[in-house]
Amino acid sequence: MRHSIIRIIVLLAICTMSTAYTIPHRTTAGKDYLVSGNNTELKIYYDTSSNFSQNHEGSFAMDSDTGTSWVSEKSDTPQWFEVDFVTKRIMTHLIVYPGKKSGFNTIRYFILQFMHRGEWFDFKKVILAEKKKLWYMPWKYGTAYHEKVKVPLGGVDASTFRIMVPGDAMIDAHAALAEVEVYAGSQKLKYFDERLYNLCFPVKNGLFPESRRSYPNAPREYRGGRHVGLDVYYYHDPETYKPIRVDKTTPVISIAPGTVVRSDSDYEPMTPKEWKRQSQFYSNNARTFVKRSFGGIQVWIDHGNGVLSAYNHLSKLDGSIKEGARVSRGERIGWIGNSGLYGEAEGKDYGMHLHFEIWVDGHYLGYGLEHEEVKRYLQWMFRER
């Protein structure tokens, strides 16, 4: 009996200890994210206490552009910006660029916090607005403001941190951060693939398609089983935003500077019989080599650093687009058409659209991602900034 009581007491003690050290379940639900790689499922999540507007949400503190900022809504309560890598990251220091609201500084100081056992703890207080003696009037004090501050960490192994701005630290009831950089030694950790940032959409005022079939990874029986690009069917009127269907008068433009590596100036369309025969073959056989593909008149542009874009189904090319030619961002390369499609084979104009592909390090953009992730990533890449 005595031994039984002792065992019960020990078990209760163990349960009490386990309860005391229970770590609250972390979740990424409700958090926004950036895709850290070009074709991977690695995501970096971020969250904020509030956002002043859509043009001031959290990703603007992670976009490698100190001209944009996350700005909180007006409040007298603490505001914060959080980064969640989900998995372990080693960090040696942060570099923080405080942001501005209407051209004015917003933060006197902030507190860098890390999460431990499911709870935030204060790691370091960082002063941005310091009182200093005026050199020309040493008996008086002025305020020196740090537009950039390095925060040494001494070597931290963590997955989540946040910058918390208490109510009394906000200068005009707003908090703003222009950029929060994380370093492991001399290497800045990348929140996203900077090669794919700030591209221009290949059709001016072009609209993203509504159908899932128009995005990468959609099934295609006649294309060897998989769609690897984005299909653009509409653009909007710049004044009314009314959708307008693309046609042969709609220009196609380069998404970024680069060099033309393919220009189909000698293209010849298929006959209806040839098109059907090829379609039937590739519906039942793996694609190996295609001499006359369903892409029709194509232009490929090498943007360097492993990025290539391809523009299919064009009706004609701009006269300057030759293999080896240099093009600039937004430069016209041709016009939309339906070349390579059955409509062209029949000598008709139906089915006109731009099939557009981005290839990164030899893989098409979107490989391995779910539909919503691909859609979101493309919208982020082509967002006007």
Q: How many CB atoms lie within 10 A of CB 85?
A: 19
Per-residue model confidence (pLDDT) at position 23: 46
pLDDT for 254: 98
| Whole-number pLDDT of residue 35 | 75
3-state helix, strand, coil in the chain (%, to 5): 15, 40, 45
What's residue 41's pLDDT? 58
Residues 6+ apart with CB under 8 A from 247: 336, 349, 352
Q: Show the domains of the chain with their CATH numbers.
A: 32-192 (2.60.120.260), 212-381 (2.70.70.10)
Residue 61 to residue 98: CA distance in whole angstroms: 9
pLDDT for position 57: 95
Q: What is the pLDDT of residue 21?
A: 38
Give me the residues of the chain with pLDDT under 50, please: 1-24
Cα–Cα distance, 372 to 103 (Å, whole number): 36
Which CA distances in Å does 16 have to 4, 7, 159, 202? Answer: 18, 14, 28, 62
- Say what the pLDDT of residue 284 is: 74
Task: Kindly state the tokens that stand for 61.
Answer: 């503190």
pLDDT of 283: 74
Rounded CA separation 348/250 (Å): 17
pTM here is: 0.79
Pairing assessment for the beta strands 243-245 and 234-236 based on DSSP bridges: antiparallel
Tokens for 183, please give them: 């370093």
What's residue 136's pLDDT?
Answer: 60
